[in-house]
Amino acid sequence: MTERASIGTPAPTDWRDAAHQRRMAKRYGAERRFRWLGLGAVLMSAGFLVVLLVSMLSAGVSGFVQTQIALPIDFAHSRLTIDPAKLRGPGADLALAAADLGGATDAAAIAAYGPEGDALLSDGAWTRVRDQLKADPSLLHRRATVWVPAADRIDIAAKREGAPADEAIVAKLNAAHALKTSFNSFFLTSSDSTDPTMVGIWGALKGSLLTMFVTLLIAFPVGVLSALYLEEYAPHNRWTDLIEVSINNLAAVPSIIFGLLGLAVFLNTFHLQRSAAIVGGLTLALMTMPVIVIASRNAIKAVPPSIRDAAFGIGASPVQVVFHHVLPLAMPGILTGTIIGMARALGETAPLLMIGMRAFITAPPGGLRDPATVLPVQIFLWSDQVNRGFVEKTSAAILVLLVFLLAMNGVAIYLRNRFETRW
Amino acid sequence: MSILVLFFLITGLGLIAWLSARMRAARFRRASKARFSSLPSHFGGFVAMWTVLPAAIFLAVWASCAPGLVTNRVLTEPAAAHLPPPGFERAAILSEARSIASGDGFGTPTPLAATLAPAYAAAQTRADWIGAGVALLLAFASGAWAFTRVRPDFRARNQIERLVMALLLAAALVAILTTMGIVASLLFESARFFGMVPIGEFLFGTHWSPQVIDPRDPGASLGAVPLFWGTFFIGAVIAMFVAIPLGLMSAIYLTQYARPSVRMWMKPLIEVLAGVPTVVYGYFAALTVAPLVRDFAVAIGVRWASSESALAAGLVMGIMIIPFVSSMADDSITAVPAAMRDGSLAMGATQSETIRRVLLPAALPGVVGGILLAVSRAIGETMIVVMAASGVATLTLNPFASATTVTKQIVDLLTGEAEFDSPKTLAAFALGLTLFVITLLLNIVALTVVKRYREAYE
């Protein structure tokens, strides 16, 4: 008894003691602060995303809208010498190219808006006149009003604050109902240009699609096959360890290193065309392959062994087991990983800069060997432009890129939810 | 014969081989009641494989050695005697003759090239016909041989499966080849660079100005220490200053406090940050963040405020890195056994005390591994610094001053118009090698730490 007393039992907690109450309040205060801190971190991270998207949206939406000026042209009395009959045949483009449409457009602008009138129009305004003539050759006999894109500074003044002089011109044009804004379909159908009112993303988008085509064609089969080998057949020895280590390391190598590889191997050793979609596709394929391998291996690993045992049990060979049973069951997971890898490749810029896909290209590439650029590189190139008109175009191109990425990720999530089996 | 016609011919032969072997196998299968190891389509595949593969392999070999044979043939022409001795000029004339012969020469050709062009064209046509003829013959012969082996007792399936296994192995080897390609190309070009510039001057020199390189002493203006410092400062200090607290606290909140519905929405939302293309971050940094940072610096009275400050690039990079840190921390925290947490809570600790005293120490190796991976991602990141950081290399501790990074310099060096053999362009490969080695080491250390930690709780 005395021994136990000498060890001493702690006094029971006095819950109403003031010191204890203070201590508890302090601890609960710390708890609350910690919790708020965590919530703040989450909200801040999500807030960054919102700020990023909102800033791109607010700057980019106006890139899809174009300010147009009404241009009355008296085709009948202009100096244009076009035979209307020629416009109905296959020689239309040739006949229109020979005529001085640019001069006629400028003359019409000067006639309508004074001596500075031609400066109000975009440099490419005459192409709109040309398209109108091609669509309706009867215009040549009469007077018509063609809506043509306004010059860059007028466009800026009409959308936001421009220079005071331009603001005055916009006010005057508005009063004369000679100004309208409409959806800039040109932006989605044309290519790069030096004039921000005439630029479009179709060239870059087509380059991106061609590049992605090459990437998918190479990275998908190679990635899936090597994942099958590593998961299903590979013996455990030093060689397969080496393969595994190199795949895991490749997945973490900075993308710019792949650009250096593409430059040294595809351009300087194999002498493939600079800035061609095929080189970009090959480079991105090497970059995307490890991502696909890792995703595919996880998907294959998730197929339960009982499936394989059942197939072996009814006499399938190892190749039949894998290709008839394991691979189809793993496919949703593999496709999800592939789409995510492709989305990453679609947004990639740095390696493509290394292999020269940063050229100024005004026509969409016709094939895999033509000089091409891709959407992210186009964004990078436009962001470097001094001209203020490119700001909204850059943001608009970013929006297009983000829409594509969002769609791809959406498909990936849908696939995962719809087809993935939980065993 | 054009390559496309040849391709279709060989594919057609393969198709015919497949169909005929399949039919033959089907016939003897019907005739007998015995069980076979292979299906008719296996026989078809076997014969088609023997029809297409030898021809394809031959064509690949032929395509690589035919140009040399063609050139040798042209050199036996009498006109070739006037060619200058082997060297750059000779190669230029030959390549000009080749482009005239293939029909895409432009401008006025040099007379010698023009006289050699017909010989070139003739030799090329000859080589094409020989290649096509041998390929077709080979396809036919090996296909016919394979067809004679289509008998009931032949195990065609095993042959096909052997080919499939070879394909699988070849696919897996691509990864090794890529790694070797990266290492070899970086090492090879860097070796040429270090032949011009001593490795010590490159690694420890403190002056970097590749715009003006003294040809007698290129190493004097190619000292990479300011780049290494800038990379470390932007990627490992400023970016982590943003990413670690935000990422870690987000992970803690989402795993420990948030309701499942909140977690279900917020976790993917934060991960979207990692999916935004880096060029978008770069644009955001250059257009929105950099001016704000500069104005702020001017407002608090910093004298050397650059509009291409290290802080702007680092902040945006930190935002990009948040999801890497948070998802790694998320994984490690959820991997801590629930018994540890429950024990701490049962002893009367508050939730935050449990997190700080029990969960975080237990999850620390995983968190540290994740941070190392994030650092390696940050220092390899290119577009943000290309668009928002400066090109001027300075050794500075001031976050408002301009700083440059390894990746930014690689892009700047290689997108100029300099010829490929100058120390300036080769320096990019030396920088690439350094970057590769550093990120590799970081990844190996990080993965080892994470792996050891996982083993501790499994």
Residues B251 and B375 in one domain: yes
CA A277, A281, A282, A284 torsion-angle sign:
positive
Placement of tokens 């091609």 in the chain: A134
**Cβ(B344)–Cβ(B357) below 8 Å:** yes
Q: B61-104: per-residue pLDDT in tens?
A: 888 788 778 888 888 777 777 777 766 677 777 777 777 776 66
Pairwise CA distance, residues A127 & A148, whole Å: 9
Q: B326 touching A, CB under 8 A? A: yes
Dist. CA B124–CA A3, nearest whole Å: 108
pLDDT averaged over chain B?
86
Structure tokens at A35: 């919790």
pLDDT category at B458 given cuts 50, 70, 90 is low
Q: Which of B154, B177, B210 is the last residue of a domain?
A: B154
Please check whether residue B160 lies inside any domain of the structure.
yes
Domain finish residue from B164, B186, B208: B186
pLDDT of B357 higher than 50:
yes
How much is the pLDDT for B1? 52
Q: Average pLDDT for residues A61-79, to the nearest whole number?
A: 82
**Final residue belonging to a domain, choices A129, A157, A184:** A184
Does B298 share its domain with B426?
yes
Residues spanned by the domain of B159: 155-186
**Is pLDDT larger for residue A395 or for residue A103?**
A395
Domain assignment present for residue B150? The answer is yes
| Nearest by CB: B273 against A39, A48, A234 | A48
Scan for tokens 């008839």, then name that residue: A324
* Pairwise CB contact (< 8 Å): A226 & B174: yes
- Report CA torsion sign: A89, A90, A96, A99: negative
Q: Is the domain of A260 the same as that of A348?
A: yes
- Which of B181, B380, B386 is nearest residue A265 as measured by Cβ atoms? B181
Write the single-letter amino acid at A350: A
Which residues of chain A are within 8 Å of residue B179 when distances are taken between CB atoms? 246, 249-250
CA angle (B220, B432, B451) in 5-degree steps: 130
Most confident of A28-42, A153-167, B29-43: A28-42
pLDDT at A100 over 80: no
Which of B284, B414, B432 shows the shortest C-beta gap to A257? B432
Q: Is residue A213 part of a domain?
A: yes
Amino acid in position A106: D
Indicate the pLDDT class of residue A311, thresholds 50, 70 and 90.
very high
Work out the burial of residue A100: count CB atoms within 10 Å of its CB; fewer than 13 is exposed, 13-18 middle, 19 or more buried. middle
> How do residues A364-384 score in pLDDT, each as one tens digit?
888 888 888 999 999 999 998
Residue B456 — φ and ψ, nearest 5°?
A: -60, -30
CB atoms within 10 A of CB B193: 24
Contact B270 A45 (CB under 8 A): yes
Q: What is the CATH number of the domain that holds B359?
A: 1.10.3720.10
Neighbours of B155 (CB within 10 A): 13
Spatial CA neighbour of B243 closest among B352, B423, B99, B376: B376
Max CA distance (Å), chain A: 126
For the segment A173-194, the average pLDDT, to the nearest whole number, is 83
User: Which of A93-97, A98-102, A321-325, B173-177 is predicted with the least confidence, judged by mean pLDDT?
Assistant: A93-97
Asked whether residue B393 carries a pLDDT value surpassing 50, the answer given is yes
A2 pLDDT above the threshold of 50 = no
By C-alpha distance, which of B417, B400, B407 is closest to B383? B407
Q: Which residue among A30, A229, A394 places its CB closest to the CB of B172? A: A229
Quote the Cα angle for A215-A218-A220, to 5°: 90
Interface contact flag, B175 A48, Cβ < 8 Å: no
Tell me, yes or no, if the pTM score tops 0.80. Answer: yes
Q: Tell me what percent of the residues of chain B surpass a pLDDT of 90.
A: 38
Least confident of A157-171, A277-291, B158-172, B365-379: A157-171
Shared-domain flag, residues A371 and A415: yes
Q: What is the mean pLDDT of residues B123-144?
A: 88
Dist. CA A231–CA A244, nearest whole Å: 10
What's the pLDDT score for residue A7? 58
My answer on whether A405 and A293 are in the same domain is: yes
Q: Which has more confidence, B68 or B333?
A: B333
A102, A105, A110, A112 alpha-carbon torsion, rounded to 10°? -170
Q: Does any domain span residue A25?
A: no
In this structure, the answer to whether residues A207 and A248 fall within a common structural domain is yes
Distance from CA of A127 to the nearest CA of B (A): 30
Please give the tally of structural domains in chain A: 2
How large a percentage of chain A has pLDDT more than 90?
A: 41
Mean pLDDT confidence for B361-366: 90
Asked if residue A1 has pLDDT above 50, the reply is no
- Examine the domain organization and report whether B39 and B173 are in the same domain: no
B282 near A CB under 8 A: yes
Query: Pick from B130, B154, B178: which residue ends a domain?
Result: B154
Tokens of B434: 């350094």
Beta-bridge mates of residue A68: A149, A180
Residues A141 and A95 in one domain: yes
Range of the domain at A144: 61-184
Q: What is the mean pLDDT of residues A77-82?
A: 70
Residue type at position B45: G
Compare CB distances from A243 to B160, B176, B420 and report the shortest one's residue.
Answer: B176
The distance in angstroms from the start CA to the end CA of chain B is: 64
The two three-digit tokens of residue B359, written as one number: 């969960």
Residue B388 distance to chain A (closest CA, Å): 11
pLDDT at A225: 95
Q: Which residue of B has its CA nearest to A377?
A: B279
What tokens appear for B132 in the block? 């096509």
In a domain, A159, yes or no: yes
Q: How many domains does chain B have?
A: 3
CB–CB contact A246 B410 (8 Å): no
Note whether B378 and B239 are within 8 A (CB): yes
User: Average of pLDDT values for A309-320?
Assistant: 92
* Most confident stretch, A78-82, A141-145, A218-222: A218-222
* Alpha-carbon distance A264 to nearest alpha carbon in chain B (angstroms): 6
List Cβ neighbours of A133 (8 Å cut-off, separation of 6 or more).
A75, A82, A87, A96, A101, A139, A140
Question: B184 burial class (0-12, 13-18, 19+ CB within 10 angstroms)?
Answer: middle
CATH of the domain at A266: 1.10.3720.10
Same domain? A219 vs A295: yes
Comparing CA positions, the residue from B156, B132, B130 lying closest to residue B13 is B132
Tell me how far apart the 2 most distant CA atoms of chain B are, in Å: 100
Q: Give the pLDDT confidence score for residue B418 in this predicted structure.
A: 60
- B373 with A405: Cβ contact below 8 A: no
Asked if the model's pLDDT at residue B111 lies above 50, the reply is yes
Do B392 and B287 have their domain in common? Answer: yes
Chain B interface includes A225 (CB < 8 A): yes
Which residues have C-beta within 8 Å of that of residue A418, sequence separation ≥ 6? A332
Taking a C-beta distance cutoff of 8 angstroms, is the pair B291, B269 a contact? no
Residue A216 placed within a domain: yes
